[in-house]
């Protein structure tokens, strides 16, 4: 092999390494703004139209009408008892400072099993709970700012943001619920309950339907706490984990968790 060819190959290798270094080590963009929860759209059943009361028939003028007896000054009018309106859903909003969205994935690092956890408190969403009819409860759009995810390793953080999630172009991971199932017939303060939420999860530019298992505890009339979790193959979202000399293997599935506190508005 000629000296010129060796030099050319060396230059190409250096350019490739430089490009890889730029891609991995460049500082990711910061969060564009603090997250604001999208209002949950509360769907209500349509109210039936009132049936008009027919007008009374005209009296036949065969006999003079009896004169009305004037009311006694001492008579007490009968009070009409109003029917209380049915209580509607109570809207709770996730408190970011007391909540955490995270991913968990297993890998073997230099022969040692490791569970990698990436987490952020930049999560927002609203939940409408109908205490009288829990099955009518609703969950709004959940958003997580992927630019704020961090692990215990800065090199890994940059690889996740720059190479895996491309957070400069795709700042948010979103979950739009489409169905809730398994809700209980009643809920009580201090009593946890479980159900499932199915919806559209969007990571980068790929959207797939996933189902979260959820446990919620009403801590008080104005505060709920919960945990939602799901596991799926990350390749379903077109994600690729780059090779690293220090990483032997990486699991094929990733777990997403949302540990949240929400307070009534």
Taking the C-alpha atoms of residue 90 and residue 81, their distance in angstroms, rounded to an integer, is 26
pLDDT at 65 over 70: no
Residue 219 pLDDT level (bands cut at 50, 70, 90): very high
pTM of the model: 0.76
Taking the C-alpha atoms of residue 242 and residue 40, their distance in angstroms, rounded to an integer, is 38
Tokens of 213: 């298992």
Domains of the chain with bracketed CATH? 87-264 (2.40.128.110)
The percent of residues in the chain predicted with pLDDT above 90, rounded, is 68
pLDDT at 79 over 50: no
In the prediction, which pLDDT does 6 show?
53
Calculate the average pLDDT of the chain: 84
Task: Supply angle C-alpha 174, 210, 160, rounded to 5.
Answer: 50
């Amino acid at each position: 092999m000629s000296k010129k060819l060796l030099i050319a190959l060396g230059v190409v290798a250096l350019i490739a390494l430089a490009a890889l270094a730029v891609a991995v080590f460049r500082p990711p963009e910061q969060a564009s703004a603090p997250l604001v929860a999208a209002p949950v759209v509360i769907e209500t059943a349509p109210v039936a139209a009132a049936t008009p009361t027919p007008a009374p028939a005209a009296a036949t003028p065969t006999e003079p009408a009896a004169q009305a007896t004037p009311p006694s000054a001492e008579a007490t009018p009968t009070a009409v008892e109003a029917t209380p309106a049915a209580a509607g859903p109570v809207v709770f909003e996730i408190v970011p400072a007391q909540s955490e969205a995270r991913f968990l994935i297993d890998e073997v690092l230099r022969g040692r099993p490791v569970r990698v956890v990436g987490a952020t408190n930049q999560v927002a969403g609203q939940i409408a709970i109908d205490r009288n009819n829990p099955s009518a409860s609703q969950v709004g759009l959940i958003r997580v700012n992927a630019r704020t995810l961090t692990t215990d390793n800065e090199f890994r953080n940059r690889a996740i943001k720059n190479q895996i999630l491309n957070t400069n172009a795709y700042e948010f991971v979103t979950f739009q619920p489409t169905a809730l199932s398994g809700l209980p017939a009643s809920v009580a303060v201090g009593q946890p309950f479980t159900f499932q939420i199915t919806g559209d999860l969007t990571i980068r530019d790929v959207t797939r339907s996933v189902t979260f298992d959820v446990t919620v505890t009403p801590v008080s009339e104005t505060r709920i706490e919960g945990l939602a979790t799901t596991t799926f193959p990350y390749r379903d979202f077109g994600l690729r984990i780059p090779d690293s000399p220090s990483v032997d293997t990486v699991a094929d599935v990733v777990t997403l968790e949302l540990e949240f506190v929400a307070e009534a508005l």
